Amino acid sequence: MNNEFATALGDVGREVIKIERDLVHFFYPVVAGITVLVAVIVCDKIESPQLAIPFAIGATLTPLASTREPSPRRTFTYLWALVWISFSVLLASLLSRDALAIAIVGIAVSGLYGFACGLAGRISANARVIGVLSLVFFAIYLGSPQTRLGALESTAMVAFGGFLQIGVLTLLSLRREPLSTWAISAVSPSALQRLRDGLSWHESYVRHALRLGAAMATGTALALFLAHTFSWPHQYWLPMTIAWILLPDAYATTTKTASRIAGTFLGVGFIAVVVGVILGAEPSLRQSAVIAGFGAFLMLAFIFANYTATTTGITIFAMTIFTLVDDPLNSTLPYRLALTVMAGAIALTFAQFWRDESVPTQV
């Protein structure tokens, strides 16, 4: 038994550090990083740094929806993802209130939305990614630090950032994929038909959707409890992490959780060194822009090659971007680590419920 556990642990460790070099991308990630940098500087010039947060989040995370499809389907996937991302931001922003009744509704909606986003994976691989991104945005805006922006303003800026980034990436792709090569092919069966065909209690994505919904409700409730009882900052971090790492099978969830925890520690360590050693103080707005841009680049460059590196980039980006509204950076590092570990524990626990026995549990 000990030998089996050691072997399984070694397998997970190798997955955490393995880099698929052929899948590392640089061009588009550099563009995304520069977009974030420019957006923050422009918003600073017009004395509205709070506008840079939703813009940068939309511009950075929307391209995660699809990067390996040919045009124009890739662009259509980006746009469809942006529609659901914008809806998620609007819904979460409307529910992001301190009142107890609204908080309870937020927990229930988080569970239902988690179920819906998990079920989307039955449609296609792209739909699964869009579901994850939608749930991530919902978690962020349900429990993110308060800014002076309202629900409509936040939604509009996320949509604007995503749309501008889609436009830039599409225009840049024309040098490799000119309009003369574009072709639109029908997808059969339809998304709705594929979803209907998969509505069975024995279908793996139905089981996954139920697990994800329950885990999101649990994570949101725990995050709210910690925030209101012990004044823990960044309550969004816990359910957001669950949305990223809870997958349809237990082994994939285990490796994703291990990579997430490792990447978060690396990202937090990077921030601690930059802020505590190199800068010696909280970063200025332009320094935050550079650090956030680097995080965006790292996240997108390794998204298909190594999730640990991607998580390191996500951590650097997410931690830095909220400093634009005077959110403290260095003092919140321990909370990020603790919330990541809690999210991992919740994800691993729910991954064991109603498992698909055709996928053996390695750890």
Cβ–Cβ < 8 Å for 193, 199: no
Alpha-carbon torsion angle 324, 326, 331, 337, nearest 10: -40
Mean pLDDT per 10-residue interval, the chain, length 363 residues:
66 82 86 84 81 90 78 86 96 81 87 94 88 95 74 93 91 82 69 74 86 96 92 90 93 93 94 85 83 91 92 92 76 88 96 67 36
The pLDDT value recorded for residue 53 is 87
**CA–CA gap between residue 363 and residue 356 (Å, rounded):** 15
User: pTM for this structure?
Assistant: 0.91
* DSSP category for residue 69: S
At 24, list the tokens. 């590392």
Q: How far is CA 344 from the centre of its chain?
A: 15
Q: What is the pLDDT of residue 361?
A: 39
Q: What is the pLDDT of residue 225?
A: 92
Tell me which amino acid residue 85 is: I
* Per-residue pLDDT, 314: 92
Within 146-288, strands assigned E span: none
| DSSP H/E element including 88 | helix 73-95
Half-sphere exposure of 353 (CA within 13 A, CB side): 16
Tokens of 67: 């990067």
Determine the pLDDT at residue 138: 96
The pair of three-digit structure tokens given for residue 106, joined into one six-digit string: 């937020």
Q: How many CB atoms lie within 10 A of CB 54?
A: 28
Domain ranges of the chain: 9-178+192-351
Predicted confidence at residue 146, as pLDDT, reads: 60
Residue 191 tokens read as: 């998304």
What digits encode the pLDDT tens for the residues 5-32? 666 677 777 888 888 888 888 888 888 8
